Structures are given as C-alpha cells and as structure tokens.
Amino acid sequence: MKVSRLPLACVFLLCAWIAQAAPDETLRPFVATYAIQHGAMTVGESTFQLRAGDGNSYVLELRTNPKGVAKLMIGSIVETSEFELDGEELRPLRFNAEESRGKGSQSVTFDWAQGIAHSQRDGAQAELKLKPRVLDHSLIQIALMRDLALERQLEAYFIVDKNELRRYKYERVGEGSVETPAGTFRAIEVLQTRSGSSREMHYWCAPDLNYLPVRIEQHKEGKVLLSMALKSSQGLDGK
C-alpha cells in the first residue's frame, strides 16, 4: 500500500506558515499610563497604546492630557505612529501629532521607495533624505524596548524632529530599583544625548515588563525639567 505524501507536505507548509505568521514577542500589544510631573506638581497624564495595524503594520498611539494649571497653557495632544518591521528593524511609515487647541502640529510621511521623508511642522515643510535607523520621536520608546529585549548593543538613532533629522546617542548607564505609582521595579537606565544640546533623556526600562520604561526624565544642565512615572500597564506581564 502506498503512503500518500500529501499529509507530510501539508505539515511542512503549515509549519512554514506558522513561522511566518508568528507574532514578534517584542511587539506585543500593550497599554501603559504615566503620571507627568514638574517638580512635585502633577501636570498631566499620558497613555501609550501599541496595537496591530493593517496588514503587517503596527500603530503606536500616545495621548497626553494636561491637568491643573497646565490646562491653562496647553490642550490635549495625540500622537500616532504607524510602522512595520523591515527584517529585524523598525521602519516608520507615517507620524502625526496634533494639539487640541491648534497650537501645534507635525506630520511625517516616510517614502522609503524614494528615500525621502516628507515632514510638516506648524505649516513649514521639508524633505529629508532617509538614512538607516531613522525613527519618529514616539517610536524611539519601542526601539529601545526591542534593543534591550534582544540584548543588542545600544547605538545611535536619527529622529525626525522639527523638520530636521537629528542624531541621538543611547547608552546603558546603570541598573537599580525604581519606585513608581505602579510599584517598584528593577530597571535598566538608558541615557539619551545629542551633540550640541544640554538636554538629556533618562529612561528606566523594566525587564519584567518587556523593558517598558517605568520612569522617564528630561534633564537640562543637571536639573530635572519633567518626569513621567508608570501608573498602570496591561499586556506586558501576562495580565
């Protein structure tokens, strides 16, 4: 009796399909909410949400709502970043940011076929030549989470900022315990710097939450200007 080879072929095809369709563990959907502080004063709240988009794309959405006296100076801000995986690297597709009172806006369309990013900031427009490791400024959080989860050496990224491509360096500078409203976490501290700027960003990324930053601080000349501390998260610790 002949044994059909069809079932075995189907098994191979199924395994290949599963391997191709398997979700990237570093891009699991999540929601994270942060309290924003200026000194001892809470001035707002931000919520990050990563979700699957159309086809093979992903969408990262950031909603920031001011509180207290900050509401007198600025409205709510919504930032949306659509991106995909190009091999093992993140590739931004579209970015849009708007302030609810119309005080500021930015949009970027990344045309990888032509190698150009079409950027618009508060009415001014620019065409920027794309380079490897280019991101929008919201997507850097996801890039750092992936780099740490994949145990990569941290390297510089180019970020579209104010109709320019700016090069930011990242380095792992420490590790320790960080207290937040969501609890206490062991975290790796990552420092972001840019040549010619006195501003720094400090990210404390928690391995137990897929390297989500549980605390973020903006420094200038050694002083903390703003900080964000994690209040809650879903989707990163099995919950």
Domains and CATH numbers, the chain: 25-234 (2.50.20)
Query: Is pLDDT at 222 greater than 90 in this prediction?
Result: no
pLDDT recorded at residue 23: 53
Q: What is the DSSP letter of 142?
A: H
- Shortest CA distance to 48 belongs to which of 219, 218, 209, 221? 209
- 10 Å CB burial of residue 18 (0-12, 13-18, 19+) is exposed
pLDDT recorded at residue 72: 63
Sign, CA dihedral 222-144-179-229, equals positive
Going by pLDDT thresholds of 50, 70 and 90, the confidence category of residue 182 is: very high
Token representation of residue 146: 């992936």
Distance in angstroms (rounded) separating the CA atoms of residues 154 and 144: 8
Query: Is pLDDT at 239 greater than 70 in this prediction?
Result: no
Which SS3 state, helix, strand or coil, does residue 70 take?
Answer: helix
> What pTM was computed for the model?
0.86
Kindly report, residue by residue over 125-143, the tens digit of the pLDDT: 999 999 999 999 899 999 9
Instruction: Find the mean pLDDT for residues 225-237.
Output: 94
pLDDT recorded at residue 64: 95
- The average confidence (pLDDT) of the chain is 88
If one compares 91 and 17, the residue with the highest pLDDT of the two is 91
Query: Is pLDDT at 19 greater than 80 in this prediction?
Result: no
Distance, C-alpha 134 to centroid of its chain: 13
Going from the C-alpha of 133 to that of each of 15, 88, 165, 185, 225, the distances in angstroms are 32, 11, 11, 29, 28
pLDDT recorded at residue 150: 95
Distance in angstroms (rounded) separating the CA atoms of residues 31 and 71: 24
Going by pLDDT thresholds of 50, 70 and 90, the confidence category of residue 71 is: confident
pLDDT recorded at residue 8: 39
Sign, CA dihedral 153-18-90-180, equals negative
Going by pLDDT thresholds of 50, 70 and 90, the confidence category of residue 69 is: confident
Q: What is the DSSP letter of 208?
A: G
- 10 Å CB burial of residue 129 (0-12, 13-18, 19+) is exposed
Going from the C-alpha of 32 to that of each of 6, 61, 125, 214, the distances in angstroms are 47, 11, 32, 9
Kindly report, residue by residue over 168-180, the tens digit of the pLDDT: 999 999 999 999 9
